[in-house]
Amino acid sequence: MITSRNVIATRQGDDQVIVIGAHLDSATIGTGADDNASGVAAILAAAQALAELPIQHTLVFVAFGAEEVGLYGSYEYVDSLGGDIDHVIAMINVDSVGVGTDLNVYAGAEITWGEDEEAAPTIDGGPTWVRDTALALAKQMGLPFQTSPDETWGGYTGDWSDHYAFVLEGVPIVYFEAWQWWGADDAWLGQETGDGDIMHTPDDVYENVVPEKVEMASELIAATTYALASGMVTPPVE
């Protein structure tokens, strides 16, 4: 038996919550420097940047366990909230921001995969306002972020990281990732770099992480979190 735990830190505000998460486990091959020490480093840097700034809403930073073996940490966390999930106004997920060719942000969608492995999935897109907030802030800050191609994911992402437990509960999410979509061998999977993936290979080591990518990600994570937590940006009225 292997035991895994989530590591949680809370900065208290009112009863509305923003969750900022990154998984702390890694695949057994490589060291996990990119997937996902880079994501954990980015949310820690964002937390430090926000430490003295005034906030209105509660911030919960979560380093999720057991992502690589089935997203167990994030599902367990969401289950633990029970009805309080309704107080989570947004979730920010950060996964592998240190190596990939392009920095991206995506919105969440419920995904249905067909029996044909070559067929496109069905994408039931969720709220986009958190992703759009991040993209607008990136433009203001001069940070080179984009989103997934219109001809495939259309600004959304799949079901393969810790955001998905929140998506299934209707929570708006934004997912930060460094990845290459244009020119990839598989338009639906993309690839991490022009030479292929680094994650889940022996090349996932510190020497291949680009510190500037992690820094830019942490800057935008902090800015997006502050925009939400301060009440500067609010959910659209339905």
Active site residues per annotation: 67
CA distance 39 to 47: 12
Q: Looking at residue 224, what DSSP letter applies? A: H
Q: Beta strand pairing status for 17-23 and 58-64?
A: parallel
Q: What is the 3-state secondary structure (H, E, C) of the chain?
A: CCCCCCEEEEECCCCCEEEEEEECCCCCCCCCHHHHHHHHHHHHHHHHHHCCCCCCCEEEEEEECCCCCCCHHHHHHHHHHHHHHHHEEEEEEECCCCCCCEEEEEECEEEECCCCCCCCCEEEECCCHHHHHHHHHHHHHCCCEECCCCCCCCCECCCCCCCHHHHCCCCCEEEEEEEECCCCCCCCCCECECCECCCCCCCCCHHHCCHHHHHHHHHHHHHHHHHHHCCCCCCCCC
Report the distance separating Cα 168 and Cα 101, nearest Å.
29
Which residues have a Cβ under 8 Å from the Cβ of 193 and sit 6 or more positions away? 99, 100, 101, 180
